[in-house]
């Protein structure tokens, strides 16, 4: 019985000795399996956060532009240029994202208010060919600016 026991221990030691190097392979495979989805999640959340910042900036600034610019055509041009610049800065595709509504006509009428609503479709990394430039996620922002009631001139 002692001989068998020794033989069994030797067999177990031999079996364990054959496992050399498998821990490294398992670590690499599991790391890749967990790292890739985490990296994808970080990229996606980064795109969403960039779109949130862009939407907030665009809504605030476009409403201010329309509330302070006396010439409606010039206000529209300035707002479009500003929107393009902000979208480019945040790495988003150029699209028409802002909607302006005014309580008075023209927008910069003293005592009125200007509301800017922005909606930005967020692209999902790697799924562009499937979903197109716009993804399943959209973020938005809204901002209201009161036009100075006592401003000089009109």
- Summarised one tens digit per residue, pLDDT across range 1-50 is 444 556 667 667 666 666 566 778 888 888 888 888 898 889 888 889 99
127 vs 89, more confident: 89
Over residues 115-119, mean pLDDT: 96
Across 13-17, 80-84, 87-91, least confident range: 13-17
Residue 101 has pLDDT above 90, yes or no: yes
The predicted structure's pLDDT at residue 44: 86
The predicted structure's pLDDT at residue 1: 47
The predicted structure's pLDDT at residue 17: 62
Where in the chain are the domains? 23-146
Quick one: pLDDT band at residue 95, thresholds 50, 70, 90?
confident
The predicted structure's pLDDT at residue 154: 52
The predicted structure's pLDDT at residue 5: 55
- Summarised one tens digit per residue, pLDDT across range 48-81 is 999 999 999 999 999 999 999 889 999 999 999 9
The predicted structure's pLDDT at residue 153: 57
Its pTM stands at 0.73
Whole-angstrom Cα distance, residue 110 to residue 146?
A: 9
The predicted structure's pLDDT at residue 7: 65
């Amino acid at each position: 019985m002692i001989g068998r026991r020794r033989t069994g221990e030797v067999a177990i030691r031999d079996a364990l000795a054959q496992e050399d190097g498998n821990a490294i392979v398992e670590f690499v495979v599991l790391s890749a399996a967990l790292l890739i989805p985490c990296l994808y999640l970080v990229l996606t959340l980064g795109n969403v956060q960039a779109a949130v910042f862009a939407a907030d900036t665009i809504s605030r600034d476009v409403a201010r532009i329309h509330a302070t610019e006396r010439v409606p055509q010039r206000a529209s041009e300035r707002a479009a240029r500003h929107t393009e610049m902000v979208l480019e800065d945040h790495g988003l595709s150029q699209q028409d994202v802002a909607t302006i509504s005014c309580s008075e006509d023209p927008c910069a009428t003293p005592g009125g208010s200007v509301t800017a609503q922005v909606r930005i479709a967020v692209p999902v990394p790697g799924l562009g060919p499937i979903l197109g430039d716009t993804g399943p996620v959209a973020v938005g922002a809204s901002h209201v600016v009161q036009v100075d009631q006592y401003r000089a001139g009109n």
